[in-house]
Chain A
């Protein structure tokens, strides 16, 4: 299979071969057998029509900034899916509706190929690539997602797929949109209801928010500036986009 990628005038990368849907599936499931790809495609088609608009591909890098794998998140119908493909088998899986499908690990040659062109890629085939995420954030989120129920010994719920996928998309969008800003390392922690807590902090400023476990919960946030605020400000954001906007404003 040829994974060559070309770019059109807008700088958007496109697969060069026709029948791109099939090719992109094989791209996502590099080294997977045809039978495995067929099984996943059949499964997806039997559920509902796949919506490209909802898919977001996130590439992540190691400490040296080299491309090490990809996360793909999105929705099929009203349910989230996620796929992760890395260099090792244990880092490669596909999950939809709490069902896991094993994936073959990404070939090193394929990673090398992507690494060389990664800087200019805006989109790869189906879905939208929303940015490059630091591997330490992905690792932290992955570790928290792997916690099982009762992780706090008081009956806490495991981190939900809703919270996990939203965190991936949110961080990716923030990092992509904050190119020239100095982004401090966030602290990410699990919450007993299945959500996540994000804390951004500098010597004089704080911005904290929660990622809810389900859509029916609130996105709570607080912000504080030692120089300008008399006291901490608390509010509820309507959705993820509002939190991204508030976060980027906070960085400025």
Chain B
């Protein structure tokens, strides 16, 4: 199925959102594990077309899930990482942080992120 949305350049100031399940949230430290950014093609939502709440609700999940956000400029500053807009048929906000992510790179990405929505049970 063809995608109706054109591919745009994501500005440096844009925020990118990614939801995370409660199993990846360490309630003792209050941190998300760096492996939320594990995938080489790591899906995120661009804030031009999505809010953190919409990112959370896009895939129906329980309220104990959270959303993490990272600025595009910061993600691009991490070694070997690109940020590209990759809209799909039903999902205009869909974007990806692309690049190999060894442990140090994952740590760098999560260090520059903040939690936009905390898991509600904690």
Point out residues on A near B: beta carbons under 8 Å: 144, 147, 151-154, 185, 187, 189-193, 197, 199, 201, 208, 210, 220-222, 232, 234
Contact = CB atoms under 8 A, between A and B. Distances in A.
B39 A154 contact: yes
Contacts, number: 55
A222 B43 contact: no
Nearest to B28: A187
Q: Which of under 10, 10 to 19, 20 to 34, or 35 or more describes the interface residues of B?
A: 20 to 34
A193 B29 CA distance: 24
B99 interface: no
16 contacts: A151-B21, A151-B23, A152-B36, A153-B61, A189-B35, A190-B24, A191-B35, A192-B35, A192-B39, A197-B33, A197-B34, A199-B29, A222-B103, A222-B107, A234-B102, A234-B104
Interface of B: 18-21, 23-24, 26, 28-29, 33-36, 38-39, 43, 59, 61, 102-104, 107
B54 to A, nearest CB: 13
Interface SS of chain B: mixed
A185, A189, A232 — which one has the most chain B CB atoms within 10 A of its CB? Answer: A189
A93 to B, nearest CB: 22
A45 B104 CA distance: 45
B85 to A, nearest CB: 17
Nearest to A209: B103
B26 A189 contact: yes
Contact of A144 (B23, B29, B104): B23
A163 to B, nearest CB: 13
Given A220-B102, A220-B103, A232-B107, A187 B26 contact: yes
Contacts of B43: 154
Contacts of B103: 208, 210, 220-222, 234
Contacts of A208: 103
